[in-house]
Amino acid sequence: MNSTAFVIIAILTLAAAIAAASLSKLIHAALSLAVAFVGIAAFYFLLGAEFVGLVQVFVYVGAVAVLIVFTILLTRRDAIAPERFNWPGVIVALAVFAGLIWAIYKTPVLSTSAGPIEPLTVKRVGQVLMLDYVWPLQCVGLLLTAALIGAVILVMEESDEER
């Protein structure tokens, strides 16, 4: 049952990912990417990581995909240049893929079986975030605040020039 589901989800996710990389219309590629994100969320559900799967849909489909789509909208719609095969790109992609495969096979975690999955409790998530990982959390918060202030400053400068 699980392996059948895995194969179906894998085929769908990979097809969406290939479509995202190869479709000529940018919007189609972005929407295919959203489908691939949903596929990855489905993997998380299959592994019993309900919380991560839901957050994956929430953040990537609800926010990142919308952001990508907006970015495409705001860029100019030039005529698409005739595509040449991008050999350096292929080499870089293959190198990254090989590196990832090597790293995954070297990881000892794969050989151990997963522990029992705890039911999702907000208390547990809160405890882990606020006790164990409080410094990374604060760093991320600082980074995001800086990004937010940066975005506001960019917008403010633009309106000053207009005046």
Partner 1 sequence: MTDVIDQIFVRAKQHLFSPLAGAPDWLMQMVSALINIAAVLAVFLALFALISVLERKILGRIQNRYGPNRVGPFGLFQPVADGIKMLIKEDIVPARADKIVHFLAPIIIAATAILTLGVIPYGRNMTPFAIDGGILFFFAIGSTTELAVFMAGWGSNNKFSMLGAMRAIAQMISYELPLIITVLPVVMVVGSLSPDAIVAAQDGYLFGIVPHWFVLTPWGATAFILFFVSGLVESNRTPFDVPEGESEIVAGHMTEYSGFKYATFFMAEYFGMFAINGLAVTLFLGGWHAPVAALQFIPSYVWFFAKLGALLLVYIWVRGTLPRTRVDQIMNFAWKFMLPMAFTCILSAAGWHYGGRGVAGWLWSLAVIAVVYLVLSRLLDTRKRFAPRTYRFAE
- Which one of residues 15, 17, 29, 31 is an interface residue with partner 1 (CB under 8 A)? 31
With vertex at residue 116, the alpha carbon angle to CA 111 and CA 118, rounded to the nearest 5 degrees, is: 135
Helices assigned H by DSSP within the chain: 2-22, 26-46, 50-56, 65-74, 87-106, 122-127, 134-162
User: CB 1 → partner 1: shortest distance, Å?
Assistant: 6
CB-nearer residue toward partner 1: 51 or 97? 51
Which of positions 48-67 make contact with partner 1 (CB under 8 A)?
50-51, 54-55, 57-58, 61-63, 65-66
* Of the residues 18, 73, 96, 146, which one makes contact with partner 1 according to CB under 8 A: 73
Q: Which is nearer to partner 1, 55 or 92 (CB)?
A: 55
Q: Which residue, 17 or 72, is less far from partner 1 as judged by CB?
A: 72
| Per-residue binding letters, 110-149, with partner 1 (x by CB under 8 A) | ---------xxxxx--------------------------
61, 34 Cβ separation under 8 angstroms: yes
- Answer yes or no whether residue 27 interacts with partner 1 by CB under 8 A: yes
Residue 1 binds partner 1 (CB under 8 A): yes
CA atoms 131, 136, 140, 145: torsion sign: positive
Burial string for 121-147 (b: 16+ CB within 10 Å, else e) reads eeeeeeeeeeeeeeeeeeeeeeeeeee
Chain CA centroid to CA 14, Å: 14
Does 15 contact partner 1 by CB under 8 A? no
Give dist(CA 18, CA 27) in Å, integer: 14
Residues that bind partner 1 (CB under 8 A): 1, 25, 27-28, 31, 34, 50-51, 54-55, 57-58, 61-63, 65-66, 69-70, 73, 119-123
